[in-house]
Structure 1
Amino acid sequence: MTVTGAQRQTPVDVREVRELLEEYQRKGWTDGLPVAPVSESVLEEFLATTPKDPDEVLFEKPHLNRRLTVRDAAINAALAGCLPEYFPVVVAAWEGIAQEPNPKKGIWQSTTGTAPFTVVNGPVRQRLDINSAGNIFGSGHRANATIGRALRLALINVFGLHPHGLDQATQATPAKYTALIGENEEMSPWDPLHTEYGFTRDDDVVTSFVIRSVMHIEARHTQAAEHLALDFTDSIMRTGAFIHEYTNALLVVSPEHADLFARAGWSKEDLREFVYAHAVRPRPDFAAVGKDAVSRHTKWRLATDHPDAEPDTASATSTPEQVRGLTNPESVQIMVAGANNAGVSAVVEIFGLHARLRPSSYSRVVYP
């Protein structure tokens, strides 16, 4: 069987293409799904979309003695099925990841199963057809699927993070295939995420996160902003979220929920401050699950009778029986995404070891 492309004179042997894909699979160059074949001419098309030198290092893991160059990133973007014009977003995502402190310390190898999560803002969303308005965490949009996948393939192929090998995730998350969404700026009553970093609406920016999970919040029962905000807060404060002394969250608010808050006169900052103020649980709730103290070495939560335990920070406050789950309002970030068809939002659980730092980083998308 052969197929002929619209502009091709030479037939393509499908069996040969399938055998090439099987060879890629045998060499371990995939995430389990078939990848797109790559040639030098294809690679040149990707490299032509960025002003960066092909040998420039975008990200490195010193403890593995491995580094990712622009050329490496381009190879994996091509393998992932990206179009060449997607590549500047891939580059920006790697630059964002490089600014975030956790990945350099082996977090991508963690038993927790963390994954890169990328948010895209600015006009580039329309140019590349990046989905921001329905089924945002699902399939169906090439840019979302392949740009996020390009990051995972590079972690496998450049850094050797194969499951059962250097990647030690106990269960992991589907986000380890791909996780990228756009912000639905057009249906948001608030300024978009990237303007909080000093960019303008017309700037193309990616924000990089390290995530553990995505929880959907079903809230179609109320028109009270306080009810909805407390639903978010209770989800953030589930005891299972607490690996460390504190937790972090990205609220992905649907347009319907964002409009509910806006009609009540709430700004993004109002929502952030409300969640922070109410993100408190009684100490007995933590004691009941063996998380009433922290390790004196790692600061991870554990039981008070553990030999490595020491009192948590809340123990030294004026209200020691009330345990605060967020270090500051900046531990909660907020964006709007999804369709305007139901009261469904999400809490994305962010992995952050550094309590006083914003649990994300960002980079501008640059074309030649």
Structure 2
Amino acid sequence: MTVTDQTAAVTTAPEIDSEQLRAVLEYYFDQDWTDGLPVMPVTESSLAAFLASTDRDPEEILFTIGHLNRSLSVRSAAINAALAGCKPEYFPVVLAAWEAIAKEPHPARGIWQSTTGTAPFLLVNGPVRTELEINSAGNIFGSGFRANATIGRAIRLGCINVFGLHPHKLDQATQGNPSKYTAVIGENEEQSPWPSFAVEHGYAEGDSVATMFVIRSVVHIEARHTMVPEQLALDFVNTITRSGALIHEYTSTLLVLVPEHAELFANAGWSKDDLRTFIFDNATRPRAELAAVGKDALSNRTRWRLPSDHPDSTPDTASTTDEPDTVRLLSHPSSVQIVVAGADNAGVSAVVEIFTLNPPREIPFSSSRIG
């Protein structure tokens, strides 16, 4: 839009009392009902359009955090979706996201209050991506798409306004990460050489599905240098097994591959399981390298990595194997999940650090059908 176009848009927009609008927004800020950015004013009439998009009882409880003695209802989810700037037709996705959250053990146990700065991360599959214009190709982790931005923001505002997860209060993140504003992507199913994430995990081809992860970081992998699948896969391995990421006995990861990288693997005859297995087999570190950074043993209580001379330390699992000097850092190939998303314009994929449970073989995500 040119400057002239923008001026025309302003002069033709409906007139409003800007001072009254600003007073409403300042009131919302004063009540701590925002994420630091302005929110949409909500009235009973605007809320009614959200509630009309579902046949769910407005008082139905979607998710509870027991130790906070707080619960989120369909109505409170709708209020926060409206505050976030969602369209009413986005609300079924927001509901499915909260249903997926309720299935995942970490949020109910307080992980969103953690000093590690975790955040909810939503993956959307199926026809709803195109119906709602959920971005799956190009700048997927960035700005510019209302559905991605506001659906994720609806979850964050629910965390703040229903569960009280305000920074410096119940949210104790040491640094946090940008996904604590919003983190939603669609899978680029049209350019993927493999079955979609949802189909891979048991849903039908025509199902619209919301899958929720708990994430700590997103690391981009710049890899335009090779057409050899093993070389590309080792780039991912080296990122997954970096010592700074190794806080637990085992780690889990979500690979978000751009179509170019997915095609490279597929053209070499690799399936998703082939890629998972290769990463699992190669995700090891010499014990001496872990000792150099003080992570060659485990905490008796938390299973976090510690120096072997720490008073709370215990030997890790690898110490009892035939190769005690080599430490395996993934518990199972299922510790690696794979999604195809992004533009087909450069070899830039991402390693998303996701949380799992002990035993770490448990799948580190949860899904719900939309609608």
1:271 equivalent in alignment to 2:275: yes
Output the CA distance in 2 between the equivalents of 1:194 and 1:327. 23
Mapping of residues 224-263 of structure 1, within 5 Å:
224-263=228-267
The CA deviation string for residues 64-92 of structure 1, in whole angstroms up to 9 with x for no partner, is: 00010011100000000000000000000
- Alignment map for 1:1-368 (pairs within 5 Å): 11-354=15-358, 355-366=360-371
Cα distance in 2 for partners of 1:74, 1:32 equals 20
> What is the rounded CA distance, in whole Å, between the counterparts of 2:340 and 2:204 in structure 1?
17
| Runs of 4+, deviation exceeding 2 Å | 3-6
Q: Which runs of 5+ in 2 are unaligned?
A: 1-9
Q: Which moved more, 1:124-133 or 1:306-315?
A: 306-315
Contact kept? 1:4, 1:12, Cα under 8 Å: no
Instruction: Write the distance in 2 (CA, Å) between the matches of 1:178 and 1:210.
Output: 12
Task: Give, in angstroms, the shift of residue 321 of structure 1.
Answer: 0.9
- Find the residue that maps to 1:277 and give its secondary structure: helix
Residues of 2 paired with 1:201 and 1:133: CA distance?
A: 20
Aligned counterparts of 1:242 and 1:236: Cα–Cα separation in 2: 9
Contact 1:59 1:95 in 2 (8 A): yes
Deviation at 1:259, TM superposition (A): 0.8
Q: Please list the CA deviations of residues 328-347 of structure 1 after superposition, one character each: whole Å capped at 9, or x if unmatched.
A: 01100001000000000000
**How far apart are the structure 2 equivalents of 1:196 and 1:185?**
12
Classify the secondary structure of the residue corresponding to 2:24: helix
Q: 1:300: Cα distance to partner?
A: 1.1
**Residue 353 (structure 1) shift:** 2.5
Partners of 2:88 and 2:238 in 1: CA distance: 43
Cα deviation for residue 356 of structure 1 reads: 2.0
CA distance in 2, matches of 1:90, 1:5: 32
Which residue identity lines up with residue 365 of structure 1 in the other structure?
Answer: I
Larger mean CA deviation between 293-302 and 121-130 belongs to 293-302
Aligned length: 361
Work out the CA distance in 2 between the residues paired with 1:106 and 1:287.
31
One-letter amino acid of the counterpart of residue 193, structure 1:
F
CA offset digits 1:255-302 (Å, max 9, x no partner): 010111111111111111111111111111111111111111111111
Deviates more, 1:346-355 or 1:64-73: 346-355
Shift of 1:351: 1.4
Q: Percent of pairs identical after alignment?
A: 66
Name the amino acid aligned to 1:103.
Answer: P
Measure how far apart 1:5 and its partner are.
Answer: 7.8
SS of the residue 1:334 aligns to: strand
Distance 2:60 2:250 in 1: 36
TM superposition shift of 1:131: 0.1
Q: TM-score, normalised by structure 1?
A: 0.96
How many Å separate the matches in 1 of 2:303 and 2:61? Answer: 33
Letter paired with 1:338: G
- Preserved contact between residue 283 and residue 292 of structure 1 (Cα < 8 Å): yes
Matched residue SS, 1:102: helix
**What secondary structure is seen at the aligned counterpart in 2 of 1:12?**
coil
**Partner secondary structure for residue 108 of structure 1:** helix
How many Å separate the matches in 1 of 2:105 and 2:247? Answer: 18
Match of residue 6 from structure 2: none
Distance 1:356 1:217 in 2: 25
Query: What is the one-letter code of the residue matched to 1:82?
Result: C
Cα distance in 2, alignment partners of residues 142 and 275 from structure 1: 35
Contact 1:244 1:353 (8 Å CA) reproduced: no
**SS at 2:255's partner residue?**
strand
- 1:144 maps to amino acid: N
1:4 positional shift: 8.8
User: What is the TM-score normalised by the length of structure 2?
Assistant: 0.96
Over the aligned positions, Cα root-mean-square deviation in angstroms equals 1.1
